[in-house]
Amino acid sequence: MTMLELVRLAFSRLGASRLRSALTMLGVIIGVASVVALVAVGQGATSGVTARLNSLGTNLLTVTPGRVTTGLTRGALGGVTTLTQDDATAVARLSGVAAIAPEVSTSQLIVAGSQNETTSVIGTTPGYLSVRAYDLWQGSFISQLAVDHSLDVAVVGSTTADTLGLDAASIGSSIKINGRPYTLIGILQAKGSTGFISQDDLVIIPITTAREYLVSGKSVRTISVSVAASASTDTVTAAITAELRSRHGLVATAADDFTIGNQAQLLSTVSSITTLLTVLLAGIASISLIVGGIGIMNIMVVSVRERTREIGIRKAVGARDRDILFQFLIEALVVSILGGLIGIVVGLAVSFGIGTAAGWGFVFSPVTVLAALLFSVLVGVVFGVWPARQAARLDPVEALHFQ
């Protein structure tokens, strides 16, 4: 028999017992759908997290204060107040630094007309816009003049603007921060969230204004640094370390009283973790494919037993062992391939729904789809070959006398 005839025969046999065929395919469908969906979701999550981290800034280095130790108790990162605006000015003069943005922050009640919200207020400099990769939607950003003269001006994030009912017509109006009026000069474009932290729910004011009215002391919470070229990140990190150690009077044996975070290292770490989780989830999901394969083998064994006399008759009229082998093997392959194709469609639909709901969008990977299809074919071959060989080895005389 030709391959086409074997395929037609397989479909006719499956059509004769539709319910049993559907239930047999169900295990393969679930297995393939699980693998495709989990891998796609994992890739989507990786893409989403990477996009969010990239949106924090371009070639970003974040300098934060170190830890404070009291007795045997080690405090949290940022527990000391070792960074100042003068440190930021010194870092800005280093070679390879494109822009810097020292920051202080506090949480305050914001009032606009009859609306109010408690959110983060960040005091910073004009460099914040480029360092943190924000874009303006309306108006303008804080200027160096506003910093030099501690002007009462404010720029709000898109989420804050929506909450307070602010729009393009609100530019130039007054909002209150901790009871003090500020002129609204700009509204930022939306950037989205990083984990549970929204990058759009904030108010930005000049750092000098924040220090005068909202935050006491001369220290800064962080110094964000944009490196001119990603290739020089390590060089700039070493230069910042040397500059700050010198400014803080640290001896050679003393530990740094600050920490420099590298965006590239964070991206690499997040990517490796999400990739590992994706592989683990896909491995767990593939177990259901094995269960589906066992179901195929079980049904094929039953089918061989039910069709023993048919096999005997076919052998009696000249069918060779390999004809019988291929007949049952093709039936197993048809079941697994059909189940795999349906599973791929279901898996893609599920991953599309999850990606849309989670906000990272749909990530389609042809490699994953092809791998799932090949795996389903492999399941059909592995779990179909033994029943097929059993059928091929039947003695025609014994098969004809089988009741």
Q: Which residue has the tokens 């009291």?
A: 70
Residues 272 and 212 in one domain: no
Task: Tell me, yes or no, whether 184 and 283 share the same domain.
Answer: no
CB atoms closer than 10 angstroms to residue 362: 15
| pLDDT at residue 91 in the model | 93
Is 17 domain-assigned?
yes
pTM: 0.61
Q: How far apart are CA 133 and CA 238, in angstroms?
A: 24
Phi-psi region of 192 (alpha: psi -120 to 50; beta: other; left: phi over 0): left
Last residue of a domain, one of 165, 196, 223: 223
Identify the domain boundary among 194, 223, 252: 223
Looking at 191, 223, 255, which one is the last position of a domain? 223
Q: State whether 384 and 279 are in the same domain.
A: yes
Question: Which tokens is 331 given?
Answer: 């039936």
Asked which of 29-33, 188-192, 243-247, 362-366 is least confident by mean pLDDT, the reply is 362-366
pLDDT digits (tens, 9 = 90+) for 346-359: 988 988 888 887 77
Contact 125/94 with Cβ under 8 angstroms? Answer: no
Instruction: Render pLDDT for 244-259 as a digit per residue (tens, 0 to 9).
Output: 999 998 888 888 888 8
Q: Are residues 106 and 204 in the same domain?
A: yes
Q: Which domain holds residue 171?
A: 99-223
Query: Is 368 part of any domain?
Result: yes
Q: What pLDDT does 367 receive?
A: 82
Same-domain check for residues 26 and 127: no
Q: Which of 70-79, 194-203, 373-382, 392-401 has the lowest mean pLDDT?
A: 70-79
Interhelix angle 18-54/263-306, rounded to 10 degrees, is 180
Taking residues 198-225, report their average pLDDT.
91
Tokens of 186: 């700009």
Q: Identify which of 6-15, 79-88, 119-128, 379-388 has the greatest average pLDDT.
A: 119-128
Residue 124 lies in a domain: yes
Percent of the chain surpassing pLDDT 70: 83
Residue 259 within any structural domain of the chain: no
Q: What are the Cα distances from residue 339, in Å, to 41, 46, 277, 334?
A: 21, 28, 26, 8
Q: With a cut of 50, say whether residue 391 has pLDDT above it.
A: yes
Terminal CA-CA length for the chain: 27
User: Can you list the alpha helix ranges (DSSP code H) found in 124-216?
Assistant: 128-131, 144-148, 158-164, 207-213
Residue 125 in this model has a pLDDT that exceeds 80: yes
Same structural domain for residues 43 and 130? Answer: no
Mean of all residue pLDDT scores within the chain: 81
Please report the DSSP string for 34-69 in residue order: HHHHHHHHHHHHHHHHHHHHHTT-SSEEEEEE---E
- Helix axis angle, 263-306 to 308-316, nearest 10°: 70
62 domain-assigned: no
- Considering the domain architecture, whether residues 203 and 277 belong to the same structural domain is answered as no
**Cβ contact 100:131 at 8 Å:** yes
Report d(CA 386, CA 209) in Å as an integer.
Answer: 79
The number of folded domains in the chain is: 2
Question: Are 216 and 299 part of one and the same domain?
Answer: no
Per DSSP, 186 falls in state: E
pLDDT at position 328, please? 76
pLDDT at residue 19 tops 80 = no
Mean pLDDT for the stretch of residues 374-403? 71
Residue 256 DSSP code:
P
Question: How large is the average pLDDT for residues 118-131?
Answer: 93
Pairing of strands 69-70, 197-198: unpaired
The reply to whether 386 falls in a domain is yes
Does residue 125 form part of some domain?
Answer: yes
319 Cβ neighbours under 8 A, 6+ residues apart = none
The answer as to whether 233 is a domain residue is no
- Parallel, antiparallel or unpaired: strands 180-188 and 153-156: parallel
Residues 273 and 156 in one domain: no
Give the Cβ contact number of residue 73 at 10 Å. Answer: 7
